[in-house]
């Protein structure tokens, strides 16, 4: 973390009734932090106007005059917190073994895909270019796309927006580590789009399991990638937790997530294929498709989201210096703890793949 963020409410300019809350992001006063913020500003200027990207703002001459320096950036306030916080609260509301509704997962998946399309083709308003359009991808690679860097906001104020008719919108934030990858004809080098697609695959894997630790930094993998069949061809995937598909999860959804997490980057879907498939499933998979299960109904999903997003997180964390009563002290690892075992395996093994190894970006 090379800076801090604070929420502000601006009341002095009556000509700006729609911009009352916003975020001011400040870089620490050192050269590296300021350079990172300036790079982030440059990328966000290219991504202006995209619904699924947290937006940089310009709010009134008075305010901009006071803070318009290279150390600060004004961002939109996104109301409902991080996707990680949502997963934590959803877990406390659902009974053991219950998962998020498939229709909610499809809609969240579509938000993430549109964010990837927006990063690749900012001028196309989160749609892939037509076949005869020779627009080259921007090369913007987020490089830090995990659940704490995806925020949940209110749906756009658009009666024709069917993508968010029953669900809120997801917005990708924090481009401080992002980079522009130059076009490379060498197919052995992953493109920015392939790396972003891998990241949203990990996010979806975490949403399916209601596990906020499914991220590029924390996910560990098993000795061998899994194999799954996609449109009559076998593909190796790092989504071992989804093979075979978990009970109750739409197999089409699982296949697409496994596809995003294909071991070889050239085996991952292109943005057009991915967007078309997720849009088609979002449109066609009605409650009737899922046998009218209560949790797949519009009303159930809307109510669940309203309660989860608006209720406080009631989990009580133990004091930092006091371990929970049913756990041993921090310096004494619990026996048979798989997380602790993975840490030990990681420190004892070489750099090759194997148990306890973090998933590599390829």
For residue 342, the model assigns a pLDDT of: 32
Quick check: helix, strand or coil at residue 124?
Answer: helix
For residue 57, the model assigns a pLDDT of: 86
Structural domain harbouring 44: 3-76
Q: Is residue 348 part of a domain?
A: no
For residue 360, the model assigns a pLDDT of: 54
Residues of the chain where predicted confidence (pLDDT) is lower than 50: 215-220, 315-318, 320, 322, 324-325, 327-358
Alpha-carbon distance of 23 to 74, in angstroms, equals 6
Residues 6+ apart with CB under 8 A from 69: none
The answer to whether residues 218 and 129 belong to one domain is yes
For residue 15, the model assigns a pLDDT of: 59
Alpha-carbon distance of 280 to 275, in angstroms, equals 8
Q: Are 175 and 40 in contact (CB under 8 A)?
A: yes
The answer to whether residues 98 and 213 belong to one domain is yes
User: Based on the structure, what is the number of domains in the chain?
Assistant: 2
The answer to whether residues 272 and 199 belong to one domain is yes
Of 20, 51, 76, the domain-final residue: 76
The answer to whether residues 35 and 134 belong to one domain is no
The answer to whether residues 161 and 187 belong to one domain is yes
For residue 301, the model assigns a pLDDT of: 97
Q: Are 180 and 45 in contact (CB under 8 A)?
A: no
The answer to whether residues 45 and 144 belong to one domain is no
The answer to whether residues 192 and 170 belong to one domain is yes
For residue 208, the model assigns a pLDDT of: 97
For residue 133, the model assigns a pLDDT of: 79
Q: Is residue 318 part of a domain?
A: no
Nearest one of 337, 294, 311 to 101, comparing CA atoms: 294
What's the pTM value of the predicted model, to 2 decimals? 0.82
The answer to whether residues 122 and 151 belong to one domain is yes
Q: Is residue 303 part of a domain?
A: yes
């Amino acid at each position: 973390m090379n800076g801090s963020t604070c929420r502000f409410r601006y009341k002095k300019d009556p000509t700006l009734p729609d911009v009352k809350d916003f975020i001011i992001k400040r870089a620490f006063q050192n050269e590296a932090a300021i350079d990172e913020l300036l790079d982030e500003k440059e990328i966000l200027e290219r991504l202006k106007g995209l619904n699924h990207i947290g937006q940089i703002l310009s709010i009134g001459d008075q305010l901009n005059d006071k803070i318009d320096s290279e150390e600060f950036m004004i961002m939109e306030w996104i109301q409902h917190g991080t996707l990680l916080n949502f997963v934590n609260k959803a877990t406390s509301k659902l009974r053991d073994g219950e998962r998020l509704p498939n229709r909610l997962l499809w809609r969240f998946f579509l938000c993430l895909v549109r964010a990837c399309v927006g990063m690749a083709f900012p001028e196309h308003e989160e749609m892939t270019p037509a076949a005869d359009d020779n627009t080259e991808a921007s090369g913007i690679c987020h490089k830090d796309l995990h659940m704490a860097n995806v925020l949940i906001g209110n749906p756009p104020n658009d009666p024709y927006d069917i993508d968010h008719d029953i669900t809120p919108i997801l917005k990708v934030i924090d481009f401080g580590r992002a980079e522009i990858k130059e076009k490379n004809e060498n197919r052995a080098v992953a493109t920015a789009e392939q790396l972003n697609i891998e990241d949203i695959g990990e996010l979806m894997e975490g949403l399916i399991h209601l596990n906020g630790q499914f991220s590029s930094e924390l996910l560990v993998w098993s000795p061998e990638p899994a194999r799954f069949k996609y449109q009559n061809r076998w593909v190796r995937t790092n989504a071992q937790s989804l093979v075979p598909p978990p009970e109750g999860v739409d197999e089409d959804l699982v296949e697409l997530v496994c596809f995003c997490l294909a071991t070889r980057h050239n085996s991952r879907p292109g943005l057009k294929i991915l967007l078309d498939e997720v849009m088609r499933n979002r449109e066609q998979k009605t409650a009737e498709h899922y046998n009218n299960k209560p949790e797949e109904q519009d009303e159930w999903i809307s109510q669940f989201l309203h309660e989860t997003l608006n209720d406080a997180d009631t989990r009580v964390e133990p004091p930092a210096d006091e371990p929970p009563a049913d756990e041993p002290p921090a310096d004494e690892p619990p026996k048979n703890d798989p997380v602790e075992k993975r840490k030990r395996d990681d420190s004892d093994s070489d750099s090759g793949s194997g148990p306890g190894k973090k998933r590599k970006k390829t």
